[in-house]
Each structure stands twice: as C-alpha cells, then as structure tokens.
Amino acid sequence: MGSSPTAGTMNIADLPTPAVVIDAAILRNNITHMATLHPATALRPHVKAHKCTSLARLQQDAGHTAFTCATPREVIGMASAGVGADLLLANEVLDPQRLAQMARAQDTTRVTVAVDSQDTVRAAARAGIANVLIDINVGLPRCGCSVDDAPRLADLARSLGVEVRGVMGYEGHLMMVADKQERRDKVHEAMQILADASLRVGGDIVSAGGTGTFDMYDGTVVNEVQTGSYALMDTYYSQLGLPFHQAMWVLGTVISVSPEWAVVDVGLKALGMDHGDPSIDQHKVWFCSDEHITFSPSDRVSFPSIGDQIRVTPGHIDPTMSMHSTAFVIDGDAVIDQWPIDLRGW
C-alpha cells in the first residue's frame, strides 16, 4: 500500500485497513457530557475501554484526576505517561514482579490495588503497595469477598502497614438489564451490600459502576463511578439508549463484491466478538471470519464497489481496541492525529 502520509495531511482514504478511527468531536462531547454528570473525582474513568494514554489525557483535561485500570500494564503505562494522580487497579494480582513494578510507580502517582483475600493482601504488602481497596462481591460471580470477610481483610492490611482506602464492587451482571427501572432497583440492592461493607471496613472511598449504570447511584453511598465505554461506545451499550454516541469504528475496505453480498477486510482478528457481531450502518452483517465480514447492502442503490471504505461498529469496544496498535483521530474525512494504543498487554 506504500508509506502512510503524516497525520494532518492524511485523508481517511489514505489509511491502510483495517484501522481504528475515532471522531474527535463526538469523543469530546461524550467526555464533556459525562464530566457534567460526574465531575472531577466523582468519576474514575476506566482506561481498559480504550487503552490509550492520549485519550486518557482528554479525560484528565475534563477534570478527572483518578483513573481505573484493569491490568498492571495500564497502571504502569499511565504512571509513566504522567496521566492521573490516583490510579486504581480494580483487579486482584499475585504476581510479585508486576506488583513490584506498580509499587515503584508510587514515586510519581498514588497507586491502589483491589484485594479480596488474605493472599492478595499479603502479596500487595510484600511488594510495597501502600494502598488497597477491599473488593466486595455485590452479585457478579467473579472477584470480591463477602461482607463478613471484608473487615478481617481490612484489619490484616492495616496490620501490615497498608492503608485501606475503602471498598469497591462491580455490578457487571446488571449492566444490560433491559428495563431501566428494574436495572436501577437491582443496582440499589447491590449497592446496599457495598454500603454494609463500607460501614464495617471504613475508609473514604465507595467505588462501583460502569457505563450501563452510570446514572443509578442517587440515594446510594457510592462516591466514585468507574465508567469506560462511554467515551467511545459500541453496539452492546448502544442498546440501552444512553446519552453517549458512537465515536470509534474499525475502518475497512471492500475487497470483493458478489451479486448478493460484499466483503470488507475487517474480521475476527480486528474485533472483539464476545458481545456478538459488529454492525455496519444500513447493511446486514451475515458473518465474520478471520479477516473478513460478509454483509449485504440494504438496497441495490447503496451496493458498494470494490475499494469503497466501510465503517464497522464493534460489539465490544474494550477487546477491539486491544487488537490495534494505533488509533487515527478524524475530523470529517481528515486524519488530524495518531494516538498509540499504548496500554495493551499485561
């Protein structure tokens, strides 16, 4: 395909595909809207959704100085980039080398690690991690301890010289409850579990949430909300009618056309598929294979030609971003910047 032009002189037609493209204006609108609802440290944006320190800087510019991370790599990368004054690893880790790397990052930023067992508390303490949150099971069968175990873990951490900043819980099993009132009621039930744990553990932080429940914490004790997908969105969350808009696509090129279908060069290896097929506006996706999507246009008038570009909307933003090394930031059809997706990997 030849060498790529420098960003700023490039049009999306010049991009090698598949390529991640992000609409700058829509992204900024999503970030600004969330910041008006959860300003400053009331929001702890989750960088696992975009894995990009350049995008995280925009969230920081909107007033958010605390961030959530899913992997040690994200914590270390954010600290190295100087983004975020307060980084939470909302995940349990036992690996002493990765814990030690995060402990060294404490020279430049505050690092907090989620714990839910004596083993994870002791591992964090041995590595020199200064702060933990007690991770509480609020109904999702994943990580998290019981409310009864939480004060014992907090006491153990404090006895080892580790500050217990509070509690966190993730109600991921409720993100896609279709009826909004039912979702809200179930979230409040889950947050009561977290409130009980907070009373018994102490600390200033009660952290929870995700994009699907971002507006459901009135009347609860939650004082920081962990949302990630809102910035870029995907087909999964678009089902809920949230006030955020699709800002990211995987750009592809039509490489084959048959009488009844067409094929674009975006496939399983360029998309997170765990939340279902991607979508293509005004077209029907038939199926995805390793490097292809077979789709049928909505009518003969819009039937594509070989070489046409197609924007594919992923079903799940988080794993999709982790499959690409670069995001191309666009204004209309102009490429105005390139951002490394620099927080990939562990």
**Boundaries of every domain in the chain:** 10-20+243-340, 24-229
Q: What percentage of the chain carries pLDDT values higher than 90?
A: 95
- Overall average pLDDT of the 81-93 stretch: 98
pLDDT band for 253, please (50, 70, 90 cuts): very high
Q: Is 207 within 8 Å of 132 (Cβ atoms)?
A: no
Q: Is 46 within 8 Å of 227 (Cβ atoms)?
A: yes
Q: Output the six-digit token pair for 290.
A: 């390793």
CA–CA distance, 263 with 88 (Å, rounded to integer):
42
Q: What percentage of the chain carries pLDDT values higher than 70?
A: 98
Predicted pLDDT at 4: 42
- Overall average pLDDT of the 3-23 stretch: 81
Mind listing the pLDDT tens digit for each residue in 298-337? Answer: 777 778 999 999 999 999 999 999 999 999 999 999 999 9
Predicted pLDDT at 74: 98
Tell me: pLDDT of 7 over 70.
Answer: no
Mind listing the pLDDT tens digit for each residue in 126-183? Answer: 999 999 999 999 999 999 999 999 999 999 999 999 999 999 999 999 999 999 999 9
Predicted pLDDT at 346: 80
pTM (predicted TM-score): 0.95
Tell me: pLDDT of 3 over 60.
Answer: no
Structural class in CATH, domain 10-20+243-340 = mainly beta
Q: What is the mean pLDDT of the chain?
A: 96
CA–CA distance, 217 with 188 (Å, rounded to integer):
7
Predicted pLDDT at 298: 79
Instruction: Output the CATH code of domain 24-229.
Output: 3.20.20.10
